[in-house]
Structure 1
């Protein structure tokens, strides 16, 4: 089962995050063969971390709880909030298989929190949304998929990792998203993001 984790940092924990970095990387080493995507979200300066994103293939709910709450940053008090959702990997690949990498472009995590709407309302926009992404963004998506309830049956939104020229382009992507135009999102978060992992020696 694929799980999406987004953990928001508390204010002013940069030093603590750095102190715990090696323990964090060591913990994540144990999940290396199950990792779909990972990396920190960033403040406007592109340097200060504001949170951590991980998408991981795990056996089930107990393993997801262990991943989220035994993680060293969480145990040390770095995080203010932990969002855990089941995930559907629409692209069927990991971030390391992304073939992009345009010089000067930036990377973003976009979390679109869904409204509780009937399935028929969402299904009316599914094909339009598929075309919207395929025609304009197929080469820019790093990872993309639905956020789901724990049983995998309830749609709770979407999350995307995307490479675009700037934040305005990310806002345009969501402005023209057929799901957004149909009122399916309660709110949308756009975070600067970068590929994560242990730095090369």
Structure 2
């Protein structure tokens, strides 16, 4: 299954990123055919890197963790936070949005404890909202801990990568999304996003 890597940079690592970029790109190129999408997380005005967001196909969490252990950025100390979760793309239904019309904004959201009741109560409204706004979604779907736990009651978060001209419009979308409104999520990683992988 696909695994999301939400990798957040530490402070003052611009030089480390620059020095190890070629090595990281080569490392990613080795698994290019397994990458669903991937790129750089940025600050809101898109002038500085803030991390990396990769979605890569692996048989299980152990394989996903083993790959990260070899990342040049990770081993150089670029990242201060590393979150790995299983991911199922749901919207758009036909796969990744074929065209990026504006700018991409990435939201990785982790559920509050014992979120199943909230998810169950509000899933229909959540799905209706996503279907109504499909034209603004690059990729959306639920998060899981591992490939052997992918039922509805195993969902532990969501990824939204959305396409809007401005951060304000992306935030308006996020704050209207029913799971967000109803308190399903507890932890939020929110960044501008530049999609770069898989390489053609």
Query: Can you list the C-alpha shifts for 1:162-189, whole angstroms capped at 9, x where unaligned?
Result: 1112111121112111112222111333
Could you tell me whether the CA contact under 8 Å between 1:43 and 1:49 is conserved in 2? yes
Partner residue, 1:116: 113
1:7-86 aligned within 5 A:
7-86=7-86
Q: Which residue number corresponds to residue 182 of structure 1?
A: 182
Partner Cα distance (1:126, 1:134) in 2: 12
| Segment of structure 1 superposing worse, 110-119 or 156-165 | 110-119
The Cα RMSD (Å) is 2.0
Q: Are positions 1:130 and 2:127 aligned together?
A: yes
Divergent runs of 4+, >6 A = none
Stretches of structure 1 that go unaligned for 5 or more consecutive residues are: none
Query: Could you list the runs of 5+ residues in structure 2 that have no partner in the other structure?
Result: none
Supply the distance in 2 between the matched residues of 1:94 and 1:62 (Cα, whole angstroms): 26
Q: TM-score normalised to the size of structure 1?
A: 0.89
Residues 1:6 and 2:6 aligned together:
yes
- Relative distance call for 1:118 and 1:24 in structure 2 (3 A) is closer
- Partner SS for 1:33: helix
Asked if structure 1 preserves the Cα contact closer than 8 Å seen for 2:106 and 2:161, the reply is yes
Does residue 99 of the first structure (1) align with residue 98 of the second (2)?
A: yes
- Tell me whether 66-75 or 145-154 shows the greater mean CA deviation: 145-154
Q: How many correspondences in the alignment?
A: 195
In structure 2, the partner of 1:148 is: 144
- Distance in 1 separating the partners of 2:198 and 2:183: 39
Distance in 2 separating the partners of 1:44 and 1:144: 20
Counterpart-to-counterpart distance in 1, 2:55 and 2:190: 17
